[in-house]
Amino acid sequence: SARSLEDVLKEKGVITEEDYKEIQKSSPIKYKLGEGFNFTSADGKFSTSIGGVYQLRYTLMDLDDANNTAAKQAQDSSKFELRRIKLVANGYAYSPDLTYKMTINFANIAGGTTSNGGLLEETYVNYRLLNEVQFRFGQDKVQFGRQWITSSAAQQFVDASAVTNAFVPGYDTGVMIHGKIAGGLVNYNIAGYGGVGQNTYRSTTDNAFAARLTVNPLGDVKYTESDVEYSKSPLVSVGADFYRNTLSATEVNTTNTATGNNLSFAKSTSWYGLGKGLLPAARAFSAGEALDFNMASVDAAFKWRGFSATGEYFFAEADGQTTSHKLRGQGFYAQAGYFVIPKKVEVAYRYSYIDPNRDAVNDLWVENTGAVSWYVNNQNLKVQADYTNVHKQAAIASTSGKNVTDDQQVRFQVQMLF
């Protein structure tokens, strides 16, 4: 490519090698891997990176025919999909302590329908008083569940586990105090949220509360799966979190006919959505009552020399304010991966377990997933394929009937951050 002015001046001896290196750093425009092009103002007070995220996916779903009848056939599918298509801006303004993030996921509109309440994901302002004391205002991931907090672009499998989708609240709008203590040995956050989920705003006075604590005894651990960095020293992180919320009768969507919230754990394929349908009539929630939700999880992650393992356990309970009826669910997953070619090719296995209603029988949902991933350029450019056996007991089987179903799912995905 053409020589730049700095190249020419270095050749002519007008500037030195040291000058040259320093000048490169001062450039108002840079490319940052995983973030996109970065622009910085001459006074250093403003900086922004603008980038894109592509997750282009093919999914083959072979449904189990165990419950087939003449009138009802399981409908397999062969689907090409724009799974996530995002524009991301992040940077700082007025001061390096005042950062912002803006994530727009255009794939949230598909088939003419808007999912997740709208297009916006992380959309917040963060002010750092100290590393230990920071304030965040706006929409963010509710800091509940390690895998959920991990970017969808930094997953070990084609997508997060069914357990994570079944138990986390998702995104919400609110205010958070958080910080890193002792350089990241301990991280905490305490937050209040509107409480009805992504791009959806509260029309009652009930708000949600969440808190999370992580301990990283061997040094700060980033929220990414896979040891694509081939960590020379072992890394360990353990975390615990808690979430509580109250949803009114119109918000909780007991009948599944209206959408009163955009909380992940309340969707029809999640813990609450599945579990409430399995309550016997005598112990069901009444249509007009508000529910209190209390949820907690513990998790751990480990990485060393291309090997990585992650596990989480979730506990969740909903309590009817009028009937005092109770729904309790639980779930966990454990996954591990190893780079058979360091930094490039990884194989991974995951076991997922969901019990949407601990007091009901025949309602277990178990997944076994195997994956192979080619990290062409770290997490920024990768090609992944995974295979899942989706085992659902009769009460929640993929086609209604008296038999367990074992569906086979194959996914292939190209991910590019630019």
Per CB under 8 A, which of residues 186..245 are in contact with its own copies? 193-194, 199-207
CA-wise closest residue to 80 among 412, 417, 322: 412
Return the number of the residue (89 or 213) whose C-beta is nearest its own copies: 89
Return the number of the residue (10 or 391) whose C-beta is nearest its own copies: 10
- Smallest gap, in angstroms, from Cβ of residue 124 to its own copies? 7
Return the number of the residue (115 or 393) whose C-beta is nearest its own copies: 115
Per CB under 8 A, 373 contacts its own copies:
no
Phi, psi values for residue 146, rounded to 5°: -60, -45
- Smallest gap, in angstroms, from Cβ of residue 294 to its own copies? 20
Q: How many CA atoms lie within 13 A of 21 on its CB side?
A: 2
Return the number of the residue (76 or 361) whose C-beta is nearest its own copies: 76
- Smallest gap, in angstroms, from Cβ of residue 169 to its own copies? 14
Name the one range near its own copies by CB under 8 A: 100-108, 237-245, 271-279, 303-311: 100-108
Per CB under 8 A, 3 contacts its own copies:
yes
Among 238, 381, 385, 410, binds its own copies (CB under 8 A): 381
Yes or no: say if 261 and 275 are a contact pair by the CB < 8 Å rule: no
Burial of 209 (0-12, 13-18, 19+ CB in 10 A): middle
Return the number of the residue (117 or 331) whose C-beta is nearest its own copies: 117
Q: How many CA atoms lie within 13 A of 214 on its CB side?
A: 27
DSSP-derived letter for residue 305 is T
Among 64, 67, 88, 124, binds its own copies (CB under 8 A): 124
Both tokens of residue 315?
A: 């506990």
Per CB under 8 A, 1 contacts its own copies:
yes
Q: What is the DSSP code string of 380-413?
A: TEEEEEEEEEEEE-GGG-SSSSSS-EEEEEEEEE
Helix (H, G, I), strand (E, B) or coil at 169: coil
Per CB under 8 A, 74 contacts its own copies:
no
Cα 375 to Cα 152: distance, rounded to the nearest angstrom:
15
Among 74, 151, 152, 175, binds its own copies (CB under 8 A): 175
Yes or no: say if 114 and 106 are a contact pair by the CB < 8 Å rule: no
Residues 376, 382, 385, 389, Cα dihedral to 10°: 130
Per CB under 8 A, 17 contacts its own copies:
no
Cα 219 to Cα 223: distance, rounded to the nearest angstrom:
13
Yes or no: say if 145 and 165 are a contact pair by the CB < 8 Å rule: no
Please report, as residue ranges, which positions from 20 to 49 form the binding site for its own copies (by CB under 8 A): 22-31, 36-37, 39, 41-46, 48
Helix (H, G, I), strand (E, B) or coil at 333: strand
Return the number of the residue (111 or 280) whose C-beta is nearest its own copies: 111
Please report, as residue ranges, which positions from 303 to 342 form the binding site for its own copies (by CB under 8 A): none
Size of the site for its own copies (CB under 8 A): 97
Both tokens of residue 10?
A: 């270095």
Helix (H, G, I), strand (E, B) or coil at 293: strand
- Smallest gap, in angstroms, from Cβ of residue 60 to its own copies? 8
Return the number of the residue (114 or 362) whose C-beta is nearest its own copies: 114
Among 66, 74, 115, 410, binds its own copies (CB under 8 A): 115
The β-bridge partners of 291 are: 247, 320
Please report, as residue ranges, which positions from 134 to 173 form the binding site for its own copies (by CB under 8 A): 137-139, 172-173
Please report, in angstroms and rounded to a whole number, the separation of the first and last CA atoms in the chain: 21
Please report, as residue ranges, which positions from 285 to 304 form the binding site for its own copies (by CB under 8 A): none
Among 65, 77, 183, 343, binds its own copies (CB under 8 A): 77
Name the one range near its own copies by CB under 8 A: 5-13, 287-295, 315-323, 385-393: 5-13
Return the number of the residue (259 or 322) whose C-beta is nearest its own copies: 259
Among 52, 183, 217, 288, binds its own copies (CB under 8 A): 52
Name the one range near its own copies by CB under 8 A: 80-88, 343-351, 357-365, 391-399: 80-88
Largest distance between two CA atoms of the chain: 88
Yes or no: say if 349 and 370 are a contact pair by the CB < 8 Å rule: yes
